[in-house]
């Protein structure tokens, strides 16, 4: 029987393009400061829309990352991916000589892919009386996997390459897959993460139809209010997060900077409802328990949980029920924070930027805040440290990130301080 010795997996590069910062340092500093990225939508006329605000990426200059002619071949979600991946690749030094690019992979996520591309082409199709004269780049710009391919083509990475799609759990699923491929020895390095560009007419109208979005149009900055009695839905976000995962010995041999260590991950399903989380958080609890087992640690080792919490009446409560059930008495010793209160919900890219927040928390021993929560909602436990209002200094040796998606998808990852 073949035996496999699992390899250590470390983080050697980070990249971010978010509503609160177009690079990792700006993103993290604004997150620690409790800055909201919400504001009126600028991408289209919202007159007829129930929700008129979102957390948009600001001052994005695509020519910092590629020529205009190349950008025209990409949907926004791919442009965002290229931006975040560039920061992470350069941060990790993967562009340098001596890297075996046949052992460098890309596992990139998007829950929705080229929404704007699809929307604009169908509008043109209808305007032309449905004469089928489509742009030849329609399909290549639209498909979810194209970002992974574009990143690989830019840098010549010839290893494992695919896209994960599990709604809002997509980029956390990508992290789990990348982690497993590396520790099984199938790759030396994987650029992983996710990107999303859902601030479009179809994106906003579609989630409005589900009654999922906040309609606090008069006060966008305070609309994402996790755990609060007045929470009324999530705030749409957009952007990308990139993380370079690398086999430990490979990283040491080439003198890479190591930001943290990924030690566990798990994916489960609620098997309950199309869009709603299980009311008792059964799938989420199972995922957290499996992630801890995978990491070889106990609940007592965890210091911080970056919760999925999106500011919805049902979802926020069910996740806390799952955390309480999974962590038992230790739950009151944890810090929990809901950083979507600042970034909005980046859907398939949410897990990537929240994983970066966990990694930075272990580096700096600081937990980013949950903002906008003034009065805890009915059923929200009052004995939990939800990191309300401002960041908190504390030792963060181990951090967990939860992400959950439509279809009942749950993905959880665990990071440890690198020593």
How sure is the predictor about 193, in pLDDT bands with cuts at 50, 70 and 90? very high
Q: What integer pLDDT is reported at residue 3 of this predicted model?
A: 80
Tell me whether strands 304-306 and 398-405 are parallel, antiparallel or unpaired: parallel
DSSP readout, 273-335? -SSSPPTT-HHHHHHHHHHHHHHT--GGG--EEE----S-HHHHHHHHHHHHHHHGGGGGGSE
Provide the mean pLDDT of the chain. Answer: 97
Mean pLDDT, residues 35-56: 98
- Beta carbons of 38 and 221 less than 8 angstroms apart: yes
Q: What percent of the chain has pLDDT over 70?
A: 100
Q: What integer pLDDT is reported at residue 359 of this predicted model?
A: 99
pLDDT at 118 over 90: yes
Q: What percent of the chain has pLDDT over 90?
A: 96
Secondary structure letter of residue 388 according to DSSP: B
Pick the CATH number of 9-253 from 3.40.47.10, 3.20.20.140, 3.40.50.10490, 3.30.565.10: 3.40.47.10
Write the CA distances from 267 to 14, 170, 290, 294, 411, integer angstroms. Answer: 23, 11, 8, 11, 4
Q: What integer pLDDT is reported at residue 125 of this predicted model?
A: 94
- Beta carbons of 194 and 348 less than 8 angstroms apart: yes
Q: Give me the catalytic one of 55, 144, 163, 168.
A: 168
Mean pLDDT, residues 71-87: 98
Question: CA end-to-end span of the chain, whole Å?
Answer: 34
How sure is the predictor about 2, in pLDDT bands with cuts at 50, 70 and 90? confident
Domain 265-416 has CATH 3.40.640.10: no
Per-residue model confidence as pLDDT tens digits over 63-74: 999 999 999 999
pLDDT at 381 over 80: yes
Write the CA distances from 27 to 19, 22, 54, 60, 66, integer angstroms. Answer: 8, 7, 17, 14, 22
User: Catalytic site residue 358?
Assistant: no
**Where are the domains positioned within the chain?**
9-253, 265-416
Q: How many whole angstroms separate alpha carbon 398 and alpha carbon 362?
A: 7
Q: How many whole angstroms separate alpha carbon 83 and alpha carbon 286?
A: 35
Mean pLDDT, residues 121-146: 95
9-253 shares its CATH topology with 265-416: yes
Q: How many whole angstroms separate alpha carbon 298 and alpha carbon 377?
A: 30
């Amino acid at each position: 029987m073949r035996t496999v010795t699992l390899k250590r997996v470390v983080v050697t590069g980070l990249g971010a393009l978010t509503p609160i910062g177009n690079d990792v340092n700006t993103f993290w500093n604004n997150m620690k400061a409790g800055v909201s990225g919400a504001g009126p939508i600028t991408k289209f006329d919202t007159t007829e829309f129930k929700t008129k605000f979102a957390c948009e990426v600001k001052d994005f200059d695509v020519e910092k990352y590629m020529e205009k002619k190349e950008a025209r071949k990409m949907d926004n979600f791919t442009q965002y991916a290229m931006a975040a991946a560039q920061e992470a690749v350069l941060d990790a030094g993967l562009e340098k000589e001596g890297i075996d690019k046949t052992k460098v992979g890309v596992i990139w996520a998007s829950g929705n892919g080229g929404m704007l591309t699809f929307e604009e082409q169908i509008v043109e199709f209808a305007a032309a009386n449905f004469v089928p004269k489509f742009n030849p780049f329609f399909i290549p710009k639209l498909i979810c996997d194209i970002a992974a391919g574009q990143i690989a083509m830019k840098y010549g990475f010839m290893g494992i390459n695919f896209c994960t799609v599990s709604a809002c759990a997509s980029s956390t699923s990508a992290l789990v897959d990348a982690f497993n491929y590396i520790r099984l020895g199938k790759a030396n390095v994987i650029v992983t993460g996710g990107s999303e560009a859902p601030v479009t007419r179809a994106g906003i109208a579609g989630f409005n139809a589900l009654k999922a979005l906040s309609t606090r149009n008069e006060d966008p900055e305070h609309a994402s209010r996790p755990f609060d009695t007045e929470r009324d839905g999530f705030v749409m976000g957009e952007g990308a997060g990139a993380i370079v995962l690398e086999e430990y010995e490979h990283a040491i041999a080439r003198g890479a900077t190591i930001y943290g260590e990924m030690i566990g991950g798990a994916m489960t399903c609620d098997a309950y409802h199309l869009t709603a989380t299980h009311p008792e958080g059964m799938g989420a609890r199972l995922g957290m328990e499996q992630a801890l087992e995978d990491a070889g640690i106990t609940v007592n080792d965890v210091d911080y949980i970056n919760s999925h919490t999106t500011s919805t009446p049902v979802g926020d409560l069910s996740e806390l029920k799952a955390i309480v059930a999974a962590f038992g008495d230790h739950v009151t010793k944890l810090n929990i924070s809901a950083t979507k209160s600042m970034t909005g919900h980046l859907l398939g890219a949410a897990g990537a930027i929240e994983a970066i927040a966990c990694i930075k928390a272990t580096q700096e021993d600081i937990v980013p805040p949950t903002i906008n929560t003034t009065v805890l909602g009915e059923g929200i436990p009052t004995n939990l440290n939800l990191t309300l209002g401002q960041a908190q200094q504390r030792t963060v040796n181990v951090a967990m990130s939860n992400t959950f998606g439509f279809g009942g998808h749950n993905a959880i990852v665990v990071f440890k301080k690198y020593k």
